[in-house]
Amino acid sequence: MGESLESDISDFYNDILENGETSFILMESIFDRSWEYINAAKEMVESGRDDDAVKTLEEGLELLPENALLLYNLAKSYFRVKNYSGAVKLLERYFRKERGNEFAHYVMGASHFQLEEYGDAIESFRLSLEIAPSMINSIFALAMSLKKVGQYEAALEKLKELLDIDPGNSSAENEIEEINQIMNDRAES
């Protein structure tokens, strides 16, 4: 009986490995304790204890240093406590395991943006949008990054795209006005 169960588990595990990285990460999460740390950290965040959440996730990552779920959740927590370079480092490790998470690319882009690394931010937001083309936060953040590097036409294009998805978005409307004013001022100079 025991050998049959071991064989079934082994076959199941090998099938998952053949089906790609997302399945492997799902399998990894079943066989480890990462959820204990993630759920505890989530409760801490919900009660405003972001620093405690970071410590809890760091403890989990010490025990499970290559766990994708812990890498991602700790990166989000680092972002929340304004440790943007820490978030970038963790997400670089995370992306070696998983590349299909649009939210992870968004957090990476937002971290680069806060570090004033606008070219890297643009790349990350574009990767996010390749996965989820109508993700409003990524569209807006990409537009703001393009604006920061002086690519006003491209920024306007993204903001108009956002308005097609979310008509009446006041942030997008305000930015369109501001960018148009910048472009008009430059044309008059």
Any alpha helices (H) in 1-135, and if so which ranges?
Answer: 2-18, 21-30, 34-46, 50-63, 68-80, 84-95, 102-114, 118-131
> Mean of the pLDDT values across residues 19-46?
74
> Could you tell me which residue, 150 or 33, shows the higher pLDDT?
150
Which of left, alpha, beta for 86 (phi over 0: left; psi -120 to 50: alpha)?
alpha
pTM of the model: 0.82
How far apart (Å, rounded) are the C-alpha atoms in residues 19 and 103? 22
**Nearest-10 crossing angle of helices 102-114, 84-95:** 150
Which of left, alpha, beta for 69 (phi over 0: left; psi -120 to 50: alpha)?
alpha
- Tell me if 149 sits within 8 A of 118, measured CB to CB: yes
**16: pLDDT confidence band, cut at 50, 70 and 90?**
very low
CATH number of the 99-189 domain: 1.25.40.10
Indicate the average pLDDT of the chain. 89
Q: What is the pLDDT of residue 3?
A: 52
**In the 8-state DSSP scheme, what is residue 100?**
-
Q: Which residues contact 54 (CB under 8 A, 6 or more apart)?
A: 41, 74, 77, 78, 81, 83
Q: What is the pLDDT of residue 98?
A: 94
How far apart (Å, rounded) are the C-alpha atoms in residues 16 and 32? 16
What is the C-alpha radius of gyration for the chain, rounded to an integer number of angstroms? 21
Share of the chain above pLDDT 90, in %: 81
Q: Which amino acid is at 51?
A: D
Nearest to 156 by CA among 138, 144, 166: 144
How far apart (Å, rounded) are the C-alpha atoms in residues 187 and 189? 6
Count of other CB atoms within 10 angstroms of residue 152: 17
pLDDT digits (tens, 9 = 90+) for 162-182: 999 999 999 999 999 999 999
The structural domains of the chain, with segments of one domain joined by +, span 99-189
Q: What is the pLDDT of residue 189?
A: 80
Among 64-68, 121-125, 132-136, which is the least confidently predicted range?
64-68
